[in-house]
Structure 1
Amino acid sequence: MKAIRRFTVRTVLPEPLRQLEELVLNLRWSWHHETLDLFRAVDPALWKAVHHDPVRLLGEVASDRLARLAKDRRFLRRLRDTADDLHEYLTAPRWYQSRAGGPSAIAYFSPEYGITAALPQYSGGLGILAGDHLKTASDLGVPIIAVGLLYRHGYFSQSLSPDGWQLERYPPIDPNGLPLVLLRERDGSPVRVVLDLPKGRGLHAQVWIAQVGRVPQLLLDSDVEENDQSARDVTDRLYGGGGDHRLLQEMLLGIGGVRAIRAYCRITGHPEPEVFHTNEGHAGFLGVERIRELVAEEGLTFDEALEATRAGTVFTTHTPVPAGIDRFPRDLVGRYFDGSAEKVERILALGAEDYPGGDRTVFNMAVMGMRLAQRVNGVSELHGRVSREMFGGLWGGFDTAEVPVGSITNGVHAGTWVAREILELAAREVPSILESGKGWEEVRARPGTELWRIRGVLRRRLVLEARRRLRESWRQRGASEAETSWIDHALDPDVLTIGFARRVPSYKRLTLMTSDPDRLRAILLNEERPVQIVIAGKAHPADEGGKRLIQEIVRFTESEDVRHRIVFLPDYDMALGQFMVQGCDVWMNNPLRPLEACGTSGMKAALNGALNLSIRDGWWDEWYDGQNGWAIPSADGLAAPDRRDELEAAALYELIEDHVSVTFYDRDAAGLPRRWLEMVKHTIATLGPKVLASRMMRDYVEDLYTPAAASERAMVADQFAGARELAAWKRRVRKAWPDVAVEHIESNGAESPQVGAHLSVRVVVDLGGLTPNDVAVEAVYGRVDDSDALIDPAYLQLEEDEPAENGRVRYIGELPLNRSGAFGYSVRVVPGHPMLTGRADMGLVSLPPAPPGMTNGDLR
């Protein structure tokens, strides 16, 4: 008989052990080895049985064991020292406290977070990145408040059917059995966040707090008595449902999340956020809620509130393909917002694809996120370029390079992903890396003997874990003991080990490695230079194509001749990810370029002493230098996908056969692969300071958070005088802009100018009733191609000369001719205001009439 309700009964700890609860409730333990050692000492066998989950450990440890520990002076001394260390970590000044000008607090919104496998609220890279963001903010003292949803079933657990088909299971989650506490009012009653729904319904949510080091993480949970069943189910599953269900999740995250922050700050006295960071479009409605607040509480108009909201908002896009963006029918979104038709239309306009090629019937969450943020970034340099192309329609009239979408390349949290043995080696050999983040170049001078020994330890650990998981999977599929005996010899701790672990959408090409099965067999079974591959990955439950790819790879891995050399491990999660990035010698990644936004698993592997073997996509395109791994040539531009796969698979096989395995097995008299170790040390020395999330977090603070805080302060000062003034100015400029025109252009200079000369340009502009202070008139100049299109142009703001006849204004400037060859120029008029973040901010530009046979696009 199954229980009709599941709940967790918490252990009552003896008084001397009460600090254990404090340690459990702060998720710093997930990346702090000394705290984990303490938990292990509570009951080593039980610690292993509960898969290193401290909450389960304390829930299941025997009372007599607790009684003994409460009298164990050595254990109590360790407990006090660990608790004192946590208190110092939470209170001592850190990097952020040594600088000035940053925001008093930053609100960080994400639909998923990968903090620890014990809190399964993540599905893939977006969540893992968000988790690393919070941990790094804590380590650096950056004052972030995180907001998400608490999914009662989290993401699914994956298993395989007897024929290799992915099966999903959604194990229930009891918040009382997780390291969470409920946010309560001062009188002890639980806080309730309420969203008004159509037909007088309400969506209620309680707020759980997970403490991630110094960072409070607020998780909204709709499974409360005030809701009917459909409302209780809103937070049932991560990315669950569709249509209304998904829209309600995103409204609760964005709108409810802002209200949860207000409650948290009111109750705890935490400073209110000056900056709001939207991690992907799922939380975009937070901007709508902030506009509502300013209209209702400060008396601003919609436009004024919009400017105040945009100034302090950062939007990060992680999606390199339009299909990955949440889009809802416009009429569905409209039904969930009350108010006048004009107000609803203003909200709908935020997510409108009202640009050439857009779908006018949908509401685009990423488009709304960008319209509500003054600062937008992708997550690698290449992804920034892809995003400028994807979203260029929002800034029509500007070249792709000018679209105001920047990039901050992702990083990874070393404390979470780097093996303890590697960290301890660094502490002994190059302590300055851990103490100050400096000294990476010193790695090159260190002997590789100890590094090679540790690599062997980590590889063996991965092999043992892979065997354990394989055996568990085969038994779940109905195999007998006799049928699993081969697993005792699956994989070899001394064989070159390649890792491949991803989500399984088609563009990540899980099965590219099996494009030529016979050639792959020859690589795996090579007698002199054998190779083994460890594979993991989940397909979205609704992705039948992804499931077929998994089934295909599983069937190959179960061939009796190769199953000891290539394995698929189901239920890919953070715990398995840690074993793989630490234990693999090579991290393989072969997406369709440029569809990988960043991809951070290869960064984690590199920090653990592995080399990358990857298509030049995401971060690898940016930081591959020819010595830190191998780049798989990409057949970009081929129209036939099968032919592209064939060419890239052939290149992959050749690299493994002729370069990767040869370098790995080329040993000296001491049995060391000297060339391999030189590549590993070069990788750590050059990539180490780049791939760390501490570098990423400093970039966010200095390039986005601090400027956003300054803009926000300028908007709200003097009772929002800046927001009121900017909104009025934009309204006036937009109204006048159709009449702004470049009427006359002329230039003086030698017919055959030489490098170093200057070209004088004079322009007459009709400002359409605007003043010269409202605009910038610019010359755009540089090299031109065969069609006279400007290539990587430079910009020169022309100076006002004197009023011309009939109210026109004349502008002049001198263009430097600093290079030889084909040269060209054009001019343009753009809005100009000190509170704009750039020329393209408003998406308005006035160009001169195109000469016969040319378009304005050629002139830009």
Structure 2
Amino acid sequence: MRAIRRFTVRTVLPEPLAPLGELALNLRWSWHTPTRDLFASLDPRKWEAARHEPARMLGLLTPEELQVLAEDAALVRRVRAAAEELHGYLTSDRWYQRQQDVPASIAYFSPEFGIAAALPQYSGGLGILAGDHLKSASDLGVPVVGVGLFYKTGYFKQSLSRDGWQQETYPVLDPDGLPLSLLREEDGAPAVVTVGLPGGRTLRAHVWRAQVGRVPLLLLDSDIPGNDERARTVTDRLYGGSKEHRLQQEMLLGIGGVRALRLFSRLTGAPEPEVFHSNEGHAGFLGLERIREHVEAGLEFDEALEAVRAGTVFTTHTPVPAGIDRFGRDQIETYFGGDNGVDGVPVGKVLALGAEDFDGGDPSVFNMAVMGLRLAQRANGVSRLHGVVSRDMFEGLFPGFDATETPISSITNGVHAPTWVDDRVVALLAEQGGVVGDGSDKGAVDWSAVERVPDEALWALRRTLREQLVQEARRRLRRSWLRRGASPAELGWVDDALDPDVLTIGFARRVPTYKRLTLMLRDPERLKALLTHPTRPVQLLIAGKSHPADEAGKRLIQQVIRFADQHDVRHRIAFLPNYDIAMAQSLYPGCDVWLNNPLRPLEACGTSGMKAALNGGLNLSILDGWWDEWFDGENGWAIPTADGVDDPDHRDDLEAAALYDLVETSVAARFYDRDEAGLPRRWLQMVRHTLATLGPKVLADRMVADYVGELYAPAAVASRELDGTPDHAGARELAAWKQRVLQGWHAVRVDHVESGDVADSPQVGDPLRVDAYVSLGGLDPDDVDVQLVHGRVNDADSLTDVRFEPLAHAEAYEGGRHRFSATLELRRTGPFGYTVRVLPRHDALSSVAELGLVANAGS
């Protein structure tokens, strides 16, 4: 019989073991080995049954068993010591506390967070990145508060049919059985956040709090009493439902998230955030809610917009326009106008923020990424190449500027080493003095210590990690086949599937088309030859989920599975269903090579390869995302790309052939190139080089520190100047200045440019005097920058390698005309050219292109 209702009864711990409750509730255990070891020691068998989740583990222990444990004096001392260590971690000064002019608090909004398998609120790289961001913020002492949604069924669990078709199930999560606590009012009642919906409806949500080390994570849950049935399902699942359902989710995340932060600050005394970070456009409505707050406090919309923009950071993860959330303008009018409108926040102004009012844009849609860029004074992509792609993609928002000046910077993603590095790697480095402290903080690793590790020890470690992965893969493979309908009698072959002494290549990620899951299958016979080579065999472990609505992605998975099911290769290739954090933590360490073959340049970053590298794996990848930035020829291999080939099938054929050639002639050849001691010395040198050089670069600690220095601290300073001044004087003044400049810019032009005499054959060191005669209309010279733009000239008379020289105001004439002058000393040989342009200038602008205004000579 099925239960008609379910709930979780939480354990009451004996007083001597009471600290276990705090240790289980704080998700730091997910990356802190000593805490996990403590829970495992309570009952190793039940620890395995609990899937290594402390809260679940405590629920499996009976009151009698807990009482026996409470009488173990040595255990009680260990519990108290662990609790004291956690308290020290939560309260001591860390890296952030030594920084100057940094924000008191940062709100980090994301639609998903991948913290631990115990809290399945993620689907892929975006969520894992968000989880690593919070964890490293905690380790560094950065005062971040995470904001997201609590999805009742999370993302789906993946299984396979007999013929290899992806199947999805959505197990219901009981928050009482998860490491969560409910945010409550002073009287003990659950705190409630409300968001207005059209037709007089109200969307209500409770706020669950997860504690990620020092970082609180607030998750809004709409499945509560008081909501009608439609409202209760708003947070039913991640990335599911109709466009309207998605819009309501994003309103709850952005608008409800800001309101949850206000509740959290009121109820806990936590400081109000100075900086608001939107991880992708899904949370973009947070800016509208903050504008509403300022309008209610007495500001005009445009003034409120400036106050909000100053303290907002927007990160784009999307390398293609199709990956951006778009809603119909009519939907936005319905949800932000009419009976659901807000006085002082006219729906026309809202629509303008997300309008695709540029060449190639669609006037019928509201673009969440475009709104994110317009609501944030600072924006970034997630790798150096992705920054270039993003500047090109959003160039239309800043007409008159080259793509290089589109105000989107880049901070390359990183990964949280304590989560992803196998303990054995840390232990080996510790033997060479490469770990600070007791090794529990894997972020404090001197990666160069690997240079002192003997080849024999390093190779033995790699073999141990590979064997661990093979055993785990066989277990998962057997379970998958049983669920596909096979009988145990059919599965004797699984015991010998894969081999701990064979070169192991991993490929695991989401399955959109551009990641090209099936590129390896372009020539099935050649792949078979690689897998079954008599002396240099290769084995492949593959994992990944396709979005439930992506039939094309499911077909790609099925193609891989049908190939892997064949009797002559199934011992060398396996598809492991239900790729998640738990699987990844054995997959990354055990793979010798991590494969990534996206269609360049559509991989924003691709952090899975970073996790493999931190465990001594080598990367075999298209030069895309982070690999384009940090491949150096000694830390892996770059798959050549067929850039410029228009036929996608032909391009795939060419790049697949290049992949096969690399695996056969370089990767496998080097792996199996052994000396008389049986050691692959050249391979091990690449492993050493990878750990020593990539170790410091690919860390989320580095990433978060970059966010603090390059985005959060400047945003906090700007916010204080515009939003923190009495009566918001800074925001009011900037809004008025922008209004004046926008209204008067039609009259701004470069009338005439004169250059002083230049020798017939100018040489390096010769002076070039430039006088620019400029009309400013009603604007003042202090309102503008007049720049001499110079550089090399290509065959199309376009400037390259551009540099900028300010022209000083020299003279004013009647009618708003002015002369600006500069003398430039020629320092570059070869074809030289220049032009002059006029830009708005204000100390509160973060970029020359911020207003999208420029007057170029000759235009």
TM-score class, shorter:
over 0.9
Instruction: Spell out the pairing of 1:615-630 with structure 2 (5 A cutoff).
Output: 615-630=622-637
For the residue of structure 2 that corresponds to 1:478, the secondary structure is coil
Counterpart contact for 2:300–2:344, Cα < 8 Å: no
Give 2:376's match in structure 1, choosing from 369, 373, 377. Answer: 373
Measure the CA separation in 1 of the matches of 2:475 and 2:89: 36
Is residue 192 from structure 1 mapped to residue 200 from structure 2 by the alignment?
no
Between 124-133 and 239-248, the greater mean CA deviation after superposition = 239-248
Aligned to 1:776: 785
Name the amino acid aligned to 1:609: G
Name the amino acid aligned to 1:55: A
Instruction: Spell out the pairing of 1:728-807 with structure 2 (5 A cutoff).
Output: 728-748=736-756, 749-807=758-816
Counterpart contact for 1:747–1:762, Cα < 8 Å: yes
Q: Deviations over 1:60-111 (max 9, x none)?
A: 2233321211111121111111111111100111000111210000000000
The offset of 1:200, in angstroms, is 1.2
For the residue of structure 1 that corresponds to 2:121, the secondary structure is coil
Measure the CA separation in 1 of the matches of 2:260 and 2:277: 15
For the residue of structure 1 that corresponds to 2:643, the secondary structure is coil
For the residue of structure 1 that corresponds to 2:620, the secondary structure is strand
Is residue 295 from structure 1 mapped to residue 295 from structure 2 by the alignment?
yes
Measure the CA separation in 2 of the matches of 1:554 and 1:196: 47
Aligned to 1:462: 469
Counterpart contact for 1:754–1:817, Cα < 8 Å: yes
Measure the CA separation in 1 of the matches of 2:236 and 2:735: 41
Counterpart contact for 1:452–1:672, Cα < 8 Å: yes
Counterpart contact for 1:764–1:804, Cα < 8 Å: no
Measure the CA separation in 1 of the matches of 2:120 and 2:552: 25
Aligned to 2:362: 359
Counterpart contact for 1:437–1:689, Cα < 8 Å: no
The offset of 1:805, in angstroms, is 4.4
Measure the CA separation in 2 of the matches of 1:448 and 1:368: 53
Name the amino acid aligned to 1:331: D
Counterpart contact for 2:194–2:205, Cα < 8 Å: yes
Is residue 839 from structure 1 mapped to residue 853 from structure 2 by the alignment?
no
Aligned to 1:383: 386
Counterpart contact for 1:159–1:167, Cα < 8 Å: yes
Measure the CA separation in 1 of the matches of 2:122 and 2:278: 17
Q: Deviations over 1:345-386 (max 9, x none)?
A: 001111110111110110100000000000000000000000
Q: Deviations over 1:602-655 (max 9, x none)?
A: 101001001000000000000000000000001112100011101111111111
Aligned to 2:90: 90
The offset of 1:432, in angstroms, is 5.2
Counterpart contact for 2:434–2:448, Cα < 8 Å: no
Instruction: Spell out the pairing of 1:243-254 with structure 2 (5 A cutoff).
Output: 243-254=243-254
For the residue of structure 2 that corresponds to 1:560, the secondary structure is coil
Give 1:346's match in structure 2, choosing from 349, 353, 360. Answer: 349
Aligned to 1:515: 522
Counterpart contact for 2:312–2:376, Cα < 8 Å: yes
For the residue of structure 2 that corresponds to 1:396, the secondary structure is coil
Aligned to 2:121: 121
Name the amino acid aligned to 1:524: L
Distance change (3 Å), C-alpha of 1:148 and 1:342: closer
Counterpart contact for 2:292–2:345, Cα < 8 Å: no
Measure the CA separation in 1 of the matches of 2:47 and 2:345: 59
Counterpart contact for 2:383–2:412, Cα < 8 Å: yes
Name the amino acid aligned to 1:28: R
Between 744-753 and 620-629, the greater mean CA deviation after superposition = 744-753
Instruction: Spell out the pairing of 1:583-594 with structure 2 (5 A cutoff).
Output: 583-594=590-601
Is residue 425 from structure 1 mapped to residue 428 from structure 2 by the alignment?
yes
> Unaligned stretches of 5+ in structure 2?
none
Name the amino acid aligned to 2:767: H
Aligned to 2:43: 43
Name the amino acid aligned to 1:224: I
Is residue 635 from structure 1 mapped to residue 642 from structure 2 by the alignment?
yes
Measure the CA separation in 2 of the matches of 1:249 and 1:315: 19
Give 1:486's match in structure 2, choosing from 488, 493, 497. Answer: 493
Aligned to 2:158: 158
Measure the CA separation in 2 of the matches of 1:478 and 1:60: 30
Aligned to 2:716: 709
Is residue 677 from structure 1 mapped to residue 680 from structure 2 by the alignment?
no
Aligned to 2:604: 597
Aligned to 2:12: 12
Measure the CA separation in 1 of the matches of 2:426 and 2:828: 51
For the residue of structure 2 that corresponds to 1:133, the secondary structure is helix
Q: Deviations over 1:798-852 (max 9, x none)?
A: 01111134331001112332121111111111000111112111110011234xx
Give 1:471's match in structure 2, choosing from 478, 493, 516. Answer: 478
Aligned to 2:707: 700
Counterpart contact for 1:430–1:443, Cα < 8 Å: no
For the residue of structure 2 that corresponds to 1:672, the secondary structure is coil
Measure the CA separation in 1 of the matches of 2:136 and 2:814: 61
Instruction: Spell out the pairing of 1:193-272 with structure 2 (5 A cutoff).
Output: 193-272=193-272
For the residue of structure 1 that corresponds to 2:610, the secondary structure is helix
Measure the CA separation in 1 of the matches of 2:417 and 2:732: 45
Distance change (3 Å), C-alpha of 1:439 and 1:190: closer
The offset of 1:784, in angstroms, is 0.8
Name the amino acid aligned to 1:646: D
Aligned to 2:110: 110
Counterpart contact for 1:471–1:484, Cα < 8 Å: yes
Is residue 319 from structure 1 mapped to residue 322 from structure 2 by the alignment?
no
Measure the CA separation in 2 of the matches of 1:296 and 1:54: 45
For the residue of structure 1 that corresponds to 2:491, the secondary structure is helix
Q: Deviations over 1:165-189 (max 9, x none)?
A: 0000001000000000000011111
- Please report the TM-score for the alignment, with normalisation by the length of structure 2: 0.98
Measure the CA separation in 2 of the matches of 1:353 and 1:810: 37
Name the amino acid aligned to 2:331: L
The offset of 1:442, in angstroms, is 4.1
Name the amino acid aligned to 2:122: Y
Measure the CA separation in 2 of the matches of 1:151 and 1:262: 22
Name the amino acid aligned to 1:676: W
Give 2:576's match in structure 1, choosing from 569, 580, 586. Answer: 569
Q: Deviations over 1:666-708 (max 9, x none)?
A: 1122221110110110111111110011110110001100000
For the residue of structure 1 that corresponds to 2:9, the secondary structure is coil
Between 355-364 and 5-14, the greater mean CA deviation after superposition = 5-14
Measure the CA separation in 1 of the matches of 2:838 and 2:345: 31
Measure the CA separation in 2 of the matches of 1:817 and 1:533: 58
For the residue of structure 2 that corresponds to 1:793, the secondary structure is strand
Give 1:500's match in structure 2, choosing from 484, 495, 507. Answer: 507
Measure the CA separation in 1 of the matches of 2:13 and 2:816: 83
Measure the CA separation in 2 of the matches of 1:685 and 1:292: 50
For the residue of structure 2 that corresponds to 1:564, the secondary structure is coil
Q: Percent identity, aligned pairs only?
A: 64
Distance change (3 Å), C-alpha of 1:340 and 1:79: closer
Counterpart contact for 2:429–2:453, Cα < 8 Å: no
Measure the CA separation in 2 of the matches of 1:570 and 1:342: 47
Is residue 276 from structure 1 mapped to residue 285 from structure 2 by the alignment?
no
Distance change (3 Å), C-alpha of 1:10 and 1:370: same
Aligned to 2:178: 178
> Number of residues paired by the alignment?
849
Q: Deviations over 1:115-169 (max 9, x none)?
A: 0011000000000000000000000000000000000000000000010000000
Counterpart contact for 1:628–1:680, Cα < 8 Å: yes
The offset of 1:437, in angstroms, is 4.9
Name the amino acid aligned to 1:495: V
Measure the CA separation in 2 of the matches of 1:829 and 1:333: 36
Counterpart contact for 2:429–2:449, Cα < 8 Å: no
Q: Deviations over 1:755-801 (max 9, x none)?
A: 22121111100001100000001111110111101112111110111
For the residue of structure 1 that corresponds to 2:295, the secondary structure is helix
Measure the CA separation in 2 of the matches of 1:318 and 1:849: 37
The offset of 1:574, in angstroms, is 0.5
